Amino acid sequence: MSQHDSDHEKGIKHLFRVNPEQLPPLPFKNKSFLSFLATQALGAFNDNVFKQLVLLLGVGYLMLGMEYQAVVQFLFALPFLIFSGFAGDIADRFSKGKLMVICKIAEIIIAVLGVGAFLMMNDGSNNTIEAPLYLWLLAIVAFLLGSQSAFFGPPKYGGLPELVRPDDLAPATGLTQMTTFLAIIFGVAVAGLLADLLTGRMYLAGLVTVSIAILGMLASLGIARNPPADPQRKISAKSFLSVLPTLKNIFCNDPLMSRIMIVYSWFWFVGGITLTAINAFGRFQLGLNNFDTSLMVATTSLGIALGSVLVGKLSFGKVRLGLVVPALFALVIFLLCLSVLPVHSPGEKDIELFNQLKNSPELLESTRIIPLAPLLIRTTAFVLFFLLGFASGFFSVPLLAFIQARPPLSDKGRVFAAVNWLNWIFILVSAIAYGSGMLLLDHQANYLFAWLAFATLAVGLMFLPKIFSLLKQIKPDFVYLKPHK
């Protein structure tokens, strides 16, 4: 047995001085896990209400020479590169339950700043495609929200194994993914509804995000305060770069883990491009309003949620990496199908006139600058996005469950900081790829889906064969989450 396998079993058996077999079963008897689910779900809901509002308000605008949506995604991802190492060391140095409460308090403060930015909106039409001042302020708030999320990630994912029994980790991961994406579903749908109903009064939408943040903070109070994993860990300026030695160690000494981390991060790259491109696809190519466009994003997230919980149910206490292969090919097929749908091709004049009338929804509907796609095309798009999300759930959960089970307990916070850091590098690059792609493709989001399909196929062919070759070289029982007795 390798050192990695031995450390993994020791970590599970000595779960913060708690016998893992004595932890309550899932889901309803484990009140701490339920508080954890509620906390992270409310956080995901709030993040997506706010971010989708900002993205919808910025569709069609440019900022720093790039599409506004791409800049917001970039700014939201950037804090994960800056703070992930520091956040990972803090997650191992202090109680993860306490850290989650602190993060939720910070979310309330950031939401209040968002209200201030919304108050600076004006109702007049805009004759330029350059982002107005309030969108710059909202982009800054998005950066702060990303910073809060960067500190919340390591205690969230690293703390999950503290709250459940070892053989419950796979279904717990599935439930976490499911509630996360259900929260995204409702978050983006509510954002679209608010964007249509509260034109000129967006500060009220900001007050909604403040209320949700308060609820999330109250829910976090029920999470167990387990002792720190490594109370002697030193926190210093070097902590900001501590993620780099962790990544170097993984990539040099654990080729299986490193490849799985890359493939899992690709899931976030695909999501970063797809969920952003849907807004442009819906508004500029299908002629949908804010609410219907957000419902299309929500439909994709619903597919991810259902796929995540189903693959968790099918795991039966085991990490089934074999499901990743058909899921990847399904992603490729659905992306290609989306790329060939007969949709509108917007011109530069269409987008400029659209932005001039953006804050006058009645006039926008009457002029029909962007023609509404036929019902059959719209329905097909919704179905394809649902199937794309469903395949994504099957693709991501087995990879994430393996990553959660692999590292020893004392390093889980640090490893998950590294995983988050790598994920957000891919998301940051996806923002650049989206912005550059939309400019090169003249705002044709459907062509971007075709490019993404071929890139996903290339990643699968490059990494999956080696992953399964490495799996054959270790004991098959390692993929069981329950330790040997």
pLDDT single digits (tens) 291-326? 899 999 889 988 888 888 788 777 655 667 778 899
Contact 283, 265 (CB under 8 A): no
**Cα–Cα distance, 55 to 138 (Å, whole number):** 10
pLDDT of 236-282, one tens digit each?
777 777 778 888 888 988 888 889 999 999 999 999 999 889 998 99
Closest CA to 404 of 81, 146, 245, 171: 171
**Cα–Cα distance, 197 to 185 (Å, whole number):** 18
Q: Please say if the pLDDT value at position 134 is more than 90.
A: no
pLDDT-wise least confident of 72-76, 104-108, 225-229:
225-229
- Cα separations in angstroms, 299 against 160, 187, 306, 342: 27, 12, 11, 20
- Cα separations in angstroms, 315 against 41, 259, 323, 367, 399: 23, 21, 10, 52, 12
| Residue-level pLDDT at 125 | 45
Residues in contact with 443: Cβ distance below 8 Å, sequence separation at least 6, in sequence order: 280, 284, 346, 351
* DSSP β-bridge partners for residue 15: 18
Average pLDDT of 401-406?
Answer: 79
Using N-to-C axis directions, what is the helix angle for 255-280 and 412-440, rounded to 10°?
40
Contact 416, 261 (CB under 8 A): no
Average pLDDT of 149-155?
Answer: 85
**Cα–Cα distance, 39 to 103 (Å, whole number):** 11
SS3 content of the chain, % helix, strand, coil (to 5): 75, 0, 20
**Cα–Cα distance, 408 to 4 (Å, whole number):** 7
Number of residues that make up the chain: 485
Q: What domains does the chain contain, in order, with CATH numbers? A: 3-18+26-224+239-477 (1.20.1250.20)
Using N-to-C axis directions, what is the helix angle for 96-118 and 31-58, rounded to 10°?
30
What the block records as the tokens of 214 is 């308060």
What the block records as the tokens of 73 is 């995604």
Residues in contact with 105: Cβ distance below 8 Å, sequence separation at least 6, in sequence order: 217
pLDDT-wise least confident of 30-44, 166-180, 335-349, 468-482:
468-482
Q: What is the CA radius of gyration of the chain?
A: 22
* DSSP β-bridge partners for residue 249: none
